[in-house]
Amino acid sequence: MLVVLLLFANCSLLAQKNAKPNIVLIYTDDLGYGDISCNGSSAIQTPNIDKLAKNGVRFTNAHATSATCTPSRYSLLTGQYAWRKQGTGIAPGDASLLIPTTITTLPGMLKKAGYKNAVIGKWHLGLGGEGGPDWNGTIAPGPLEIGFDYSFLIPATGDRVPCVFVENHSVVNLDKNDPIKVSYQGPVDPDAPTGAKNPELLKMLPSHGHDQTIVNGVSRIGYMSGGKTALWHDEDFAETFLKKADAFITKNKSLPFFLYFATHDIHVPRLPNEKFVGKSGLGPRGDAILELDWTVGELYKILSANKLLENTLIIFTSDNGYVLNDGYKDDAVEKLGNHKAGGVYRGGKYSAFEAGTRVPMIVSWKGKVVPGRISNAMFSQIDFYASLAELTHVAVGQRMAPDSRNFLQTLLDTKPVSRDYIIEQSLNSTLSIIRDKWKYIEPSKGPAVNKDTNTELGNLKSDQLYDLTIDPGETNNLAEKYPAIVTQLKSLLEKEKSK
């Protein structure tokens, strides 16, 4: 009897040791390093995100691979730097699938370990074959052809047409008698109102771009007609995605699952639910942060209600840094007050300076990650792939995730070593490299400032070198003072580029 009991205890211990945790990756959009209260914001309070940090490890030196969405997501899901592949810049809303179906992606890799994978939220990696997506038919290839088992998507961004959800292979609630037409070249219905012609129909005015087809009282990038029954209501995004996440988690709770939960918040147009309107005092951008914080709290509750907290690794981070005015007159600048969305960092979304890619990151796993820790280790999102492969015991083969390295111990804070160096990409693909305290930005002919968004882009025709330990705000260019360091970092970057 005793032997049987001991054997049983042993087996269950072994099962626990080998058990594969669920992975929930909360990938926010355009959230700045300083936008959450645990990273120093006092103007806006994010108690649910802070709670995640209190229960886990908060990173001060974590980086997206790019200062814009599409390349960051491409790198995250493939483990290959997007700048190695043409055509991975900000994708139009009718782009075809950018990720080759022939490679083993992050979800494809997890599938080998028996995971069920879902993507819920913003996609922005293109859909469909060479001709682009067939909005009125079967939309493929897409997430299901690169390793996900379930998808519920904003196909591109909230500010791009078509303004409809795509679930697996089709548009949700589409009436076949009212087909969708989409064009990024010119109007598909010349008589339809647009933001440019009919500002009187808008509930939020564009500041630059975003003056084409009007949906839900907001004009967007691109033209669409039809699909009236399928059109989304931006104010319901957060709740809709949570419902889908709840269904997926509840259905798959006895399997290991990977949920890539890509919020629309806090991208433009910022139209949070009425529950949050006016609550931050910072206008729609601040209110969207409150909605994001609420979303994190609700997701946590779903995991807790399913008794999954001990068995779920939660990662919270952002695809790129902050931007205030990204194309709509939503008072983000006017109501900012003293809030420092980028923390002490210079630049912002689109920029080669730190605020473009240094992003919030929190990792929590009840009983596994020591709570309340702060990690200053340098971490790049390019390494999620190999680190999660290590966690789930999948061998990363020669042709998988060529740029990703295993930093699981850093991610879980068991042995927080920094990556040797990281590479960051700005909007115009200017590359920077950070090694130890030094950051080198390669010369670029791009503009110094994005006038529309009022962002310093970090472009200079000559080399830039900053000592991030004494000058995190990148104000003192030391390239002329330390030519040997410039030479070293330049050649390291060239070596990486030629791989």
Q: Footprint of Ca ion on this chain (CB under 5 A)? A: 29-30, 69, 319-320
Going by C-alpha positions, the residue among 463, 435, 472 that lies closest to residue 353 is 472
At its nearest, how many Å lie between Ca ion and the CB of residue 200?
Answer: 30
The binder of 157, among ligand NG6, Ca ion, none, by C-beta within 5 to 8 A per type, is: ligand NG6
At its nearest, how many Å lie between Ca ion and the CB of residue 121?
Answer: 12
The binder of 211, among ligand NG6, Ca ion, none, by C-beta within 5 to 8 A per type, is: none
In terms of CB distance, is 20 or 264 closer to ligand NG6?
Answer: 264
At its nearest, how many Å lie between ligand NG6 and the CB of residue 427?
Answer: 9
In terms of CB distance, is 89 or 256 closer to ligand NG6?
Answer: 89
27/322 Cα distance (integer angstroms): 14
In terms of CB distance, is 133 or 158 closer to Ca ion?
Answer: 158
The binder of 90, among Ca ion, ligand NG6, none, by C-beta within 5 to 8 A per type, is: ligand NG6
In terms of CB distance, is 107 or 206 closer to ligand NG6?
Answer: 206
Q: Is 67 strand, coil or helix?
A: coil
In terms of CB distance, is 69 or 377 closer to ligand NG6?
Answer: 69
At its nearest, how many Å lie between ligand NG6 and the CB of residue 331?
Answer: 16
At its nearest, how many Å lie between ligand NG6 and the CB of residue 268?
Answer: 5
In terms of CB distance, is 293 or 319 closer to Ca ion?
Answer: 319
At its nearest, how many Å lie between ligand NG6 and the CB of residue 426?
Answer: 12
Instruction: At 441, list the tokens.
Output: 């930005």
Instruction: At 282, list the tokens.
Output: 């910072």
Chain position carrying tokens 């190695």: 84
Going by C-alpha positions, the residue among 51, 26, 20, 22 that lies closest to residue 37 is 51
Backbone angles phi, psi at 122, to 5 degrees: -80, 135
At its nearest, how many Å lie between ligand NG6 and the CB of residue 81?
Answer: 16
In terms of CB distance, is 55 or 263 closer to Ca ion?
Answer: 263
Residue 498 class from Cβ within 10 Å (0-12 exposed, 13-18 middle, 19+ buried)? Answer: exposed
Sequence-separated (6 or more) residues with CB below 8 Å from residue 39: 33, 58, 60, 343, 360
Chain position carrying tokens 């500002």: 199
97/81 Cα distance (integer angstroms): 17
Residues that bind ligand NG6 (CB under 6 A): 29-30, 68-69, 90, 124, 157, 159, 208-209, 221, 267-268, 320, 326-327
Residue 139 Cα distances to 90, 172, 459, angstroms: 20, 12, 39
Residue closest to Ca ion (Cβ):
69
Q: For 305-351, give the DSSP string.
A: HTT-GGGEEEEEEESS---S-SSB-SSTTTT-TT--TTTT----TT-
